[in-house]
Amino acid sequence: MTERKKRLLEHLPAAFKLVLSVLLLSLGILGWLLLQQDDRLQQERYQERVGLAADRLTQALERRVISIRGRLEKMTVDLVQSTDELPADLNAHRGPWVAIHLSHDRLEAQPPESLHYVPPGYEHKTSRAPWAEADRLEFADRDPAGAQLLLETMLSSANADERAGTLARLGRIRQRLGDIPGSLAAYAELAKMTGHYVEAVPATWLAHYARCALWENEQDSAMFANELVKLMGLLRKGGYPVSRATYTFYARASNEWSKSISPLAEPLPLDWPVSDALSALSFSYSEWQNGLGEPSGFSIIGDAPKRQALLWRTVQSSFLGIVVPLEKLAGETVSELREALSDNGIGWQINDGTGSELISGGGPASGVQTSQTLDFGNTTLVVNAYQTQAMLPQPVDQMRRQLLLWGLFLALIMVIAGTYFLARTLRREAEIAALQVEFVSAVSHEFRTPLTSIRQLTELLGSGRIRDAEKVSEYYRVLDRESARLQRMVEDLLDFGRMEANAKPYRPERLDLPQLMQEVIAEFSTERRLASGAIRLQSVEPIAVTIDRESLVRALWNLLDNAVKYSAIEPDITVRIFRSGGLAKLEVSDRGVGIEEADRERIFEKFVRGTAAARTRARGTGLGLAMVRQILADQGGTIEVSGANGTGATFTITLNMTEKS
């Protein structure tokens, strides 16, 4: 091998590392670009879906508001045709809203129970004149008994509101006088006067409130709870034109009392959205009368989550309005688009144009969003649609991303595996080439040694200078030995080639293994001039095997030759033959340098010589043990090696026995 080829082989690993690095870097950049492009396409798809949803949501909301305005116009016509009164059947076709008719001295709502309190100036008013004398007797003269007699004479009044006021005072005075049954009876009569008032307070509210106080004072919890439930039911039902202060007083008192009953009653709200919207409408009406307000409009009233949408217009000298819960308005709008919104991973939000959120659905998960603006004159609504967590990621997106990642991963594996196997193959070829170079060098050296001896002895014998017959005879024996050695090496090379090509003919025959080993030891000891006892044979009985004699002798000769080469100055070799589980075992042990653990498998490969060979500079071609294994493998045998480094080695041959002794 030339020096140039050697340098090329030495640089192969670095070259392959460079190529692999470039391929991996290119694959990584390509994968990153593909993922980035996939992300951009995904974001564009999300943006398109969110934008489409925002358009549809805005259009649906606008249609809903226009529909309510259409209803408002229809109500205007009905109102004019019904002599300035709201249609009685309005509740049957009104939709999710409350209709309000408001003038300077009149307030009407459909349905009536939707109002729980009214703006100042619209509450029910009654006069205190009929009870002035009774109040003077009760409070100024401190004569409750006289006041009671006077009030009892007033019970026959034809005016129901006057009778209500009289019963309320009688209940109070009788309680002061200790007539609890009489007080309860007066309040019971008062509770029946539905639709009548005691100084702007509904008679039924005052009656049940007073009875609650009486039963609480009497510590009758059952009757107290019964009256409180009735009172809270009336307050929750609504429909009475009372001031906000009056409603708040009774609601607070009822909520405080409810804490003492079991189970607890649901607390009454202190704010009612429709009543608050009415207050806003009343304010707009006052401004319009003063020339400052708009004759029609749309506004958002209240705080979350009870915001109301208020639409109004003028009807002659009055205001006609519709109050719609904003949540209901938006909810119905969203329900029309359920498939395109929350069910499709899209959230929404409506704000008042200043950024203050009015209502929303679904939390945003990323920056993908879009906005649409609706201008209703004096009110602007901004509709936002955005991507929610439910949209990230979609199953199709996940599958596409997984396929892309798996494709990149498989390509990466293929590049690495291909590069690895190619590098391994080339490295193996380089190692074999290097081993072949060493083999040629070793064979040349092995051939040179016997050829040199043969040539020198031939020259001596041919010159006629050796006259001693004994010396001549000895030189001829050396020539014969070196020629035989050279012949064995040539035959080994030829036979090994035939073995690898499966062209080696074997002639199996029945052999006595101990006897054959004894003959091989005798011949080997003679040729290698070993001292008597250098090789000891341990065998106690005949063991027959069927195998090619010539090839087995060659294998045994190689093992003995290795044992001598890697032993100390005085070889100490033991050959042991025995049976083991129906198999014939032959061990060749020495006390030489041993074999490194890492070399125990490699030394049976062709051209491979262990580290001990390099350390001791022992001669050899690297084919001996490879030939031994091939000979045994071809005829059903095996060979193994054992022993620690520095303490010698033991080679064990295993053969099938021909017969049992």
CATH number, domain with residue 170: 1.25.40.10
Contact between residue 560 and residue 615 where contact means Cβ atoms under 8 Å apart? no
Kindly state whether residues 231 and 290 are assigned to the same domain: no
pLDDT level of residue 249 (50, 70, 90 thresholds): very high
Task: Say what the pLDDT of residue 91 is.
Answer: 46
* Higher pLDDT pick, 572 / 464: 572
**Domain boundary at 391, 421, 456, which?**
391
CATH number, domain with residue 620: 3.30.565.10
Kindly state whether residues 306 and 337 are assigned to the same domain: yes
pLDDT surpassing 70 at residue 593? yes
Note the pLDDT tens digit of each residue in 29-65: 877 777 787 778 777 777 888 888 888 888 888 888 8
Kindly state whether residues 372 and 324 are assigned to the same domain: yes
pLDDT surpassing 70 at residue 650? yes
Rounded to the nearest angstrom, the gap between the alpha carbon of residue 324 and the centroid of all alpha carbons in its chain is 43
pLDDT level of residue 661 (50, 70, 90 thresholds): very low
d(CA 339, CA 343): 5
Q: At what angle do helices 180-191 and 160-176 cross, to 10 degrees?
A: 160
Angle at 242 between CA 240 and CA 245, to 5 degrees: 140
pLDDT surpassing 60 at residue 539? yes
What's the average model confidence in pLDDT over 491-497? 66
Cα torsion for 208, 212, 213, 219, to the nearest 10°? Answer: 160
Kindly state whether residues 297 and 212 are assigned to the same domain: no
Note the pLDDT tens digit of each residue in 151-197: 998 888 878 888 999 999 999 999 999 999 999 999 999 999 998 99
Q: What percent of the chain has pLDDT over 70?
A: 80
What Cα–Cα distance (Å) separates residue 401 from each residue in 261, 391, 404, 446, 464? 61, 15, 5, 65, 94
318: domain range?
65-103+275-391
Cβ within 8 Å of residue 594, ≥6 positions away: 612, 643, 644, 645, 646, 647, 648, 649
Q: Which two tokens stand for residue 338?
A: 């359920």
Rounded to the nearest angstrom, the gap between the alpha carbon of residue 644 and the centroid of all alpha carbons in its chain is 54
pLDDT surpassing 60 at residue 111? yes
Establish if 71 belongs to a structural domain: yes
Task: Say what the pLDDT of residue 93 is.
Answer: 42
Establish if 474 belongs to a structural domain: no
Task: Say what the pLDDT of residue 173 is.
Answer: 94
pLDDT surpassing 70 at residue 348? yes
Establish if 489 belongs to a structural domain: no
pLDDT surpassing 90 at residue 26? no
Kindly state whether residues 531 and 576 are assigned to the same domain: yes
Task: Say what the pLDDT of residue 117 is.
Answer: 92
The conformation of residue 137, written as its DSSP 8-state character, comes to: I
What's the average model confidence in pLDDT over 112-126? 86
**Domain boundary at 270, 303, 329, which?**
270
pLDDT surpassing 70 at residue 613? no
Kindly state whether residues 315 and 291 are assigned to the same domain: yes
Kindly state whether residues 623 and 602 are assigned to the same domain: yes
- Using H for helix, E for strand and C for coil, what is the string for 543-603? CEEEEEHHHHHHHHHHHHHHHHHCCCCCCCEEEEEEEECCEEEEEEECCCCCCCHHHCCHH
**Domain boundary at 391, 407, 423, which?**
391
Contact between residue 413 and residue 381 where contact means Cβ atoms under 8 Å apart? no
Establish if 582 belongs to a structural domain: yes
Establish if 386 belongs to a structural domain: yes
The residue type at 226: N
Of 98, 31, 522, 544, the residue nearest 309 (C-alpha):
98
Kindly state whether residues 98 and 141 are assigned to the same domain: no
Kindly state whether residues 570 and 592 are assigned to the same domain: yes
Burial 573-590 (b: 16+ CB within 10 A, else e): bbbbbeeeeeebbbbbbb
Establish if 372 belongs to a structural domain: yes
Kindly state whether residues 624 and 533 are assigned to the same domain: yes
Kindly state whether residues 519 and 652 are assigned to the same domain: yes
Q: What is the mean pLDDT of the chain?
A: 80
Of 378, 220, 359, the residue nearest 284 (C-alpha):
378
Domain count, the chain: 3
**CA neighbours closer than 13 Å in the CB half-sphere of residue 205:** 26
Establish if 317 belongs to a structural domain: yes
Note the pLDDT tens digit of each residue in 52-102: 888 888 888 888 888 888 887 877 777 666 655 565 544 434 556 788 888
Contact between residue 118 and residue 275 where contact means Cβ atoms under 8 Å apart? yes
Kindly state whether residues 652 and 509 are assigned to the same domain: yes
pLDDT level of residue 427 (50, 70, 90 thresholds): low
Establish if 494 belongs to a structural domain: no
